[in-house]
Every structure is written in structure tokens, then in C-alpha cells.
Structure 1
């Protein structure tokens, strides 16, 4: 493995290759959305749209003006704007056609690279393909390629039979095909692990005229020009010997890694034992590899979210007994199941019904208002009521602790703690997202550093895509100012 890597210059480096990153790559490659006419149900927005110049793409518009007054399930106004133009009145349960048409304008292409640890699609590539998406199928689509049209062209129509929802397998195929069909492959680097993103200060004399290699300047002044240096390693095979280092220098870095890298833990005795799992992927692997192994010991599943519910569904399908441990009461108003329509999500409402004891399954046993207190090396599990009552013990086939996850931002100085809405605290999509300008998605704390998707509070794909519009708009404005 080389000990150092020469710097390659890019106008933009995107860290992460999930749907948000793919969407941004579409914009940066030269695709532009235009208002194609029609009427929007939001009278205030509709009036603005009708007055826009048809010769200017949405990227060239005043996003602050267009998004003013919009409301919805995203904390970011540009995310709401892009969503309501792409899927008008989607939250009313209707499927209206998009008000945007896409044009490829090569002259607007911005040189960039997308760095991902796996295949394009990010975390979606590692999920169980048989499960269904939480969102409707058309809410999973990326700019310029209708999900239904893609399904029809590939003779896939599962979403019509699943209350409008798609399978995970279809979504990850769609994301992979999207990159290929839109000609984005040259921008994507799979198996690229970013280990460091930091500022490097330069002078004009620090670029070698022959090699083009950029060398860091030793001077560090507040107003001194700088680039971001993105370092890491990539794999060209299955063995560590095929690992190579890489280094990119760029004025603009976009953090689009998502929030599923590091599973949350209970920090109890025995949590690192081999039979204790912390992800759906691990649960699927263990259950699939032990189909023929008969055991009366239950799969103990901890958590009351959708990941825990998916694990329960998976275990029951394989005829495994399940013990379900969760801290809240089964009727707690904060449970996610309370927010999902039963007609669209029958499998989750069935789990909730079992949690409440209304639906009986001989393979399922719920322990509401309980928590795991100790895990022993003989697969012995201790649980206790949250009020501190009696301790119950049982043997477990395996234990799945599925209580959420947090992002891995170890490649940023101090794990990115200076970037949050609450400074010096760990980044969390719900409680402490990265603090960005609501229109440009540039980090408030750092010039030239952007973020999008779950890291800025957009946990639904449909809203996360708005970051690509905001970032591209800001890059264009910045370029125009430099020209002037």
C-alpha cells in the first residue's frame, strides 16, 4: 500500500453515495429542472411560478423567494420546494404529475466525484431486499427518472400489489440503474473509504506546474485561501493488499453519508458477546445461516421502532420464537406505529397489535416497560421492568438490540461536533442535525462545507433531494460573484 497519494483537484467532492448524493451528481453533471407550466394548488407558489421566466431553470431562481411560506414534513424550505414541484400535493395521498421537465445542458456540468464505501445507493444496498419501503414507491425516485416508468421497463410491478410501496430490492436496483442510465458512472468511486476531511491552506505558488500536484502551504491565517483535503483509501479487490490511498483537493465538500453507520448501544454488561446483534443485516445473516438449527430458545429483540418490527417479522417468518423487550408502554403515543395508516402498513400494525396483546401469536411474547440489564456468555439474558422491579432471566438463541443508529463522522475534526445546531455535541439527525443555511445547505460553521439528507434532518428520500437544488444554486451564485 502506498504511503502517500498525490492530490487530485475536483470542483466538488461528495462523501457518501446514497440517494441524496446521486441526486446532487445529477445536477452537477448538467441536468437542469425547468417549470413546464401547469397550475399548483398552492395559490401563493403558483403565482410565483407563473411569473417566472421559462428560459431560466429552477437552479437559477431565487430559492428563498420561491420557498417562502411552504409547510411540510421537512425542516428545510428548499427540500419542501423541490418536493412540491416534483410531487404536487403528495401528502394529500394523490399522485399528480411533476411540474418539472429535465434538460441535459452539458455546459453547466461541474467537475465532481462521489465517494462511497459500497455500491451506489448507500445504505439501501445492504438492506434485506424482501422488505418493503416505508414510503410510497414514487417517493423513492430520483430527479428525471420516474420510478414507475423504470419498473415498467424492467417488467417489475410489485409496488401495485404492495399498497403503492416498493420492495427494497427494487429500490436498490433502481438507484444502481439510475447512475448507469443517466451516464453518471464516471463520477462515482465505489469502495472508497474517506478517513480525513480537513482544511489545507495554499498560495498560488503551491501548485507544481509540471505534475499539477497541490502542496500545502505552512502559513495559516484566517483570511488565507484554502482548499479542503479529502483523504482515505480504496479497495480494488477482496484483500487488504489491494488497498490504495487517495487524496482529493477541492473548494467544496458535501457530506452526504446518512445516519446509519454506527448502531446505538445500551452499554450493558455482555453487549459485545458474539450472540448479540445490532443491525437487521446481522439478524438476517444469523437466521438465514441457522435455518436448519432447531432451538426452542427465543430470538430476543430489543426496541420499539421499525427496525425492531422488521426483525420480528423476519424471525416469525422463519418460525423462530420471539421475545420482544421495549421500554415504552404498548399504547405510548410516541410509538411510530401510531403514525402509520393501517391500510398501507398492515404488517407494522399487526406487530403493534401483538405488542398490545390484541393479536395472539404463540411464537411471540411482549415485555413492554422492560429493559435489558445484563447479557451473559452462556446466552443467558436478564431483563427488568423500567420501574426497577423483579429481574427475569431466560436463555436466548440470539439477541438483537435495534434502538437506532448514529452517523460516523470520524473523518471530520472532532467528529463534526462543531457543525451541529448544538455546538460541541454529537451530530444526531433528530436532536442535533448539522446546522446549515436553509437555502444553500452550506454549514454555518464552515465555508465550502455542505451537508444534505438525514444529517440535516431530512430522513425521507423525497425531501433530502432538495439539498441538491440548494447546493447547486449556491455554487452557481458563488461562481457568478467570482466572475463579477
Structure 2
């Protein structure tokens, strides 16, 4: 497409989904994330390739289709600017350049040519004219973008529970976190181990995939159904239906 690229910030599954969506729609993508592509904490390192080929495709692009700086201009005639951001944004790169030869070893993989990754980068600022300033290792880069998707995760808001629900976590001395400290539950019923009658599912218990939600819901429904049957509070109408 001729429009300016979309900037996607983050290195998790939500960011990967956004990359896939944009690339499948032929939208140019600039993908910025703070970690190195070899970081063992990246979620892609924990996913089997046979079960999640689409996410490994994104990870392959993150590794191979990285940005490389164009030849820097001579510093002798570079004007002094009021700010670094103004100086860099005045020298906009029309389009990210891929490192030479990065695609050679992946010729058999159907990658998206309009995708460029920026490992170990962070966003410094957004300008009013839709220019974005990125900070890398000892370098600043600026690009004009059409949209920004910041997908860097969030912390659950459990204000309606006692102590923000902290006592429910696997480590009750720390706040509940989808990644570091999920809610402690029974693995089959999804009932909170520290609060009988309270159930949790999804990211709160560490299940960050949409495909896992059905299992959580069925586990909870099955537990409740068995308890109601045991208490004689379910009346069969002659079939498998209960009222």
C-alpha cells in the first residue's frame, strides 16, 4: 500500500496477532520491541512450532527482517538543530531498508516483504505531524507513520476484591500479574484455592490464548453442575436437560 506504515510496539502474542493482521492486509509494518530476538523470555521461545506455525512465522520475521541504517550523512556539514528529535525527523527515511542477505537463508519461507523489525528499540516520542522517533543502540531513527498499536500488556484491576485480590495469587506477597503471579487455582475446576466458590480463568490464571478460554469455561461449568447435582438442586425433565 502507498500509505505510511503502521507502528506496532510489543513482542507478545497480541503484537504478533497485529503483525499478522496488518501483513495479511498488505499494510506496511514497523515492529518495535525492547528485547533482543534471542531473549529466552520471548513467548515465541515457549511455543511448539508444530502447534503455532503462525506465531513462529512472525518470530522468523522479527529475527531476519531487521532494520539496518542507511549510510550516515557527513557530520561536517550537518546543521546544529534545536533538538535531537527535530534534527532526526528532518532527515526522514522514506522506507526502512532490510539488511542485505537476511532473506537469502529464508527463501523457502513465505515472509512479508513490507515488514521491518526493530529489536532493542523503544519509542522516544510522537510528533504532531505523525512522525515517530525511535531509540536504538546509540542511534535515533525517525519515520512517518499512519497509526500506532501499543500492545505491551496490562495489569489486571481487581479493585472489587479484598486487598486488590493479592491474596489470591500464587505468591500472596506480590500483586496479581498475568505473567509473573497468576491467581492460584485448582487445575481442573478453576476454583481459587484461597477463596472457595470463586473461579478464575483466562489471563488471570496464566492462560493467554483465546483457544484456552473454552476449556476454562467448561471446567467451571462442569464443577458447578456436579455440585448442584450433589446438592439435589437440579431437576431432570426426563432427558439430559436440567431446570
Instruction: Please indicate the TM-score interval, normalised by the length of the shorter structure.
Output: 0.5 to 0.7
If asked which structure has higher relative contact order (CA below 8 Å, sep 6+), I would say 1
Match of 1:330 in 2: 37
CA RMSD in angstroms comes to: 3.2
Matched, 1:461 2:213: yes
Matched, 1:416 2:165: yes
Matched, 1:399 2:148: yes
Q: CA deviation at 1:400?
A: 0.8
Q: CA deviation at 1:368?
A: 0.9
Question: How far apart, in 2, do the equivalents of 1:456 and 1:417 lie?
Answer: 13
Helix, strand or coil: the match of 1:451? coil
Structure 1 stretches lacking a partner, 5+ long: 1-290
Per-residue displacement from partner, 1:201-234 (whole Å, max 9, x unpaired)? xxxxxxxxxxxxxxxxxxxxxxxxxxxxxxxxxx
Structure 2 stretches lacking a partner, 5+ long: 65-101, 104-110, 233-243
Question: How far apart, in 2, do the equivalents of 1:401 and 1:419 lie?
Answer: 29
Q: CA deviation at 1:473?
A: 4.8
Per-residue displacement from partner, 1:345-371 (whole Å, max 9, x unpaired)? 443333222212244644111111112
Helix, strand or coil: the match of 2:183? coil
In terms of fraction of residues, the more strand-rich structure is: 1
Helix, strand or coil: the match of 1:411? coil
Question: How far apart, in 2, do the equivalents of 1:461 and 1:426 lie?
Answer: 23
Whether the 8 Å CA contact 1:440–1:474 is kept in 2: the answer is no
Question: How far apart, in 2, do the equivalents of 1:318 and 1:370 lie?
Answer: 25
Question: How far apart, in 2, do the equivalents of 1:458 and 1:341 lie?
Answer: 16
Helix, strand or coil: the match of 1:450? coil
In structure 2, the CA distance between the partners of 1:416 and 1:327, relative to structure 1 (3 Å rule), is same
Q: CA deviation at 1:451?
A: 1.5
Helix, strand or coil: the match of 2:198? strand
Q: How many residues align?
A: 183
Per-residue displacement from partner, 1:304-356 (whole Å, max 9, x unpaired)? 22221221122223322211111222233333334444455443333222212
Q: CA deviation at 1:302?
A: 1.0
Of residues 347, 354, 359, the one that matches 2:54 is: 347
Structure 1 length as normaliser, TM-score? 0.33
Match of 1:315 in 2: 22
Whether the 8 Å CA contact 1:436–1:450 is kept in 2: the answer is no
Q: CA deviation at 1:458?
A: 4.3
Structure 2 length as normaliser, TM-score? 0.60
Q: CA deviation at 1:412?
A: 2.8
Q: CA deviation at 1:443?
A: 3.7
Of residues 110, 129, 132, the one that matches 1:378 is: 129
Whether the 8 Å CA contact 2:190–2:201 is kept in 1: the answer is no
